[in-house]
């Protein structure tokens, strides 16, 4: 059985997030953090990350008990709590989508009833079919417009957060003894974030508009079915995203592993050199290890915060997109059931437009979440 690429991408993102999320500590009591932890966190500039988030994301973080980059607050945020918050965020989208879908379905049923009562006049049937299909599309357009606006806003917000996170996390990774890893991460991820912003503005939004335009043509022009063209555009966009995501993940993973190996050799050499100093060598080596351990805690806290914040940024709009996609596919199936092929083609084209937006959101989320989780996980070995 062939699994659609979009489902594989969603599963990969979710698996990465939940595997890399900080888990609750086994100790019953909170252990005191190193004295340098707070100062290192402030010096890194990581406190700016909370202010860079959208207002609704900050509110949802507060609902999880995360009011800042607090290591123990992040440890207490369990996947169950995050899922509960996410369900609360998307609960408002369900009634809106259901209402729009119900009205469009009523139009399809009315069209079928009219066709059964009308005389066998091709011109009259075509006029009513076009009018009904246009009415169904008009009922869906306000929701689709808000969906497009929301998806574009989330992509921009996520990219803005990522562009602020990348240099901060790269500086922390450098201080943790992984300068080569930090350079690889900063170079690749920063370029990807900038490219994604231009890709969304210059390609994805226009492609979505073109596909929605094709659905409009499908609804009005006789003997023209452009849903296959819209499906081809959707497959091309999603395939391109899948290839880019695979290349980015593979390239970042390989470069990070190589860089981490080189960094580990450098740190080991520094510790050996410190141990060779008479009298104070052991103390210097222990001090070096303590500093690196403290910075590693800062790296874990910032990385965990970025993963949870990124999930809360992207997941609600992605859930709404998938909800609309499923609804439009159901409408297309219902239209075919009632022998309304023109309306079915229109709903399919609209579903393809939503699928393009979904792929864009998934790809943006994958770049932020996978790259962050990868560097904080690989860097542990240094």
Quote the DSSP letter at residue 251: H
pLDDT score recorded for residue 260? 67
Q: How many CB atoms lie within 10 A of CB 340?
A: 25
Q: Tokens 């594989």 map to which residue?
A: 8
Residue 117 burial (C-beta neighbours within 10 Å; 0-12, 13-18, 19+): exposed
Average pLDDT over residues 255-281: 58
CA dihedral 198, 199, 205, 208 (to 10 degrees): 170
Average pLDDT over residues 57-76: 80
Band (330; pLDDT cuts 50, 70, 90)? very high
pLDDT at residue 17 greater than cutoff 50? no
The alpha carbon of 322 is separated from its chain's Cα centroid by a whole number of angstroms, namely 13
- What number of residues does the chain have? 382
CA dist 192 and 9 (Å) reads 17
What whole-number percentage of the chain has pLDDT above 70?
Answer: 73
Which residues have C-beta within 8 Å of that of residue 78, sequence separation ≥ 6?
24
What tokens does 80 get? 């169950």
Between residues 84 and 380, the one the model is more confident about: 84
pLDDT score recorded for residue 1? 44
The tens digit of pLDDT for each residue in 340-353 reads 877 888 888 888 88
CA dist 316 and 320 (Å) reads 6
Residue 33 burial (C-beta neighbours within 10 Å; 0-12, 13-18, 19+): middle
Helices 341-378 and 5-20 cross at an angle (nearest 10°) of 30
Q: Quick check: 356 and 203 in contact, CB under 8 A?
A: no
Residue 324: closest CA among 369, 363, 356, 360? 356
pLDDT score recorded for residue 94? 81
Q: Which of 30-39, 112-121, 123-132, 147-156 has the lowest mean pLDDT?
A: 30-39
Q: How many CB atoms lie within 10 A of CB 100?
A: 21
């Amino acid at each position: 059985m062939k699994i659609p690429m979009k489902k594989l991408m969603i599963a990969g993102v979710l698996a990465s997030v939940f595997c890399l999320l900080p888990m609750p500590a086994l100790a019953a009591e909170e252990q005191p953090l190193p004295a340098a932890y707070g100062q290192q966190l402030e010096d890194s500039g990581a406190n700016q990350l909370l202010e860079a988030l959208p207002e609704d994301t900050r509110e949802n973080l507060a609902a999880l008990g995360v009011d800042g980059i607090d290591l123990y607050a992040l440890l207490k945020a369990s996947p169950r709590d995050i899922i509960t918050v996410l369900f609360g965020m998307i609960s408002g989208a369900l009634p809106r989508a259901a209402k729009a879908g119900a009205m469009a379905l009523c139009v399809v049923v009315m069209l079928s009833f009219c066709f059964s009562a009308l005389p066998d006049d091709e011109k009259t049937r075509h006029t009513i079919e076009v009018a009904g299909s246009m009415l169904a599309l008009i009922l869906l357009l306000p929701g689709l417009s808000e969906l497009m606006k929301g998806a574009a806003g989330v992509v921009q917000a996520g990219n803005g957060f990522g562009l602020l996170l990348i240099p901060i996390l790269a500086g922390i990774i450098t201080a943790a003894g992984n300068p080569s890893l930090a350079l690889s991460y900063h170079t690749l991820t920063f370029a990807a974030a900038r490219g994604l912003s231009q890709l969304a503005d210059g390609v994805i939004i226009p492609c979505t508009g073109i596909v929605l335009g094709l659905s409009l043509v499908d609804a009005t022009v006789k003997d023209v079915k452009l849903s296959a063209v819209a499906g081809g555009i959707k497959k091309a966009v999603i395939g391109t995203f899948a290839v880019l995501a695979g290349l980015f993940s593979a390239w970042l993973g390989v470069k990070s592993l190589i860089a981490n190996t080189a960094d580990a050799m450098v740190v080991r050499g520094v510790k050996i050199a410190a141990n060779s100093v008479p009298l104070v060598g052991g103390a210097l080596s222990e001090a070096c290890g303590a500093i690196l351990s403290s910075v590693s805690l800062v790296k874990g806290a910032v990385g965990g915060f970025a993963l949870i914040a990124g999930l809360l940024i992207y997941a609600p709009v992605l859930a709404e997109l998938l909800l609309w996609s499923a609804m439009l596919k159901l409408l297309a199936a219902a239209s075919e059931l009632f022998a309304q092929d023109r309306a079915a083609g229109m709903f399919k084209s609209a579903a393809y437009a939503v699928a393009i937006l979904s792929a864009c959101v998934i790809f943006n989320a994958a770049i932020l979440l996978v790259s962050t989780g990868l560097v904080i996980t690989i860097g542990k070995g240094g």
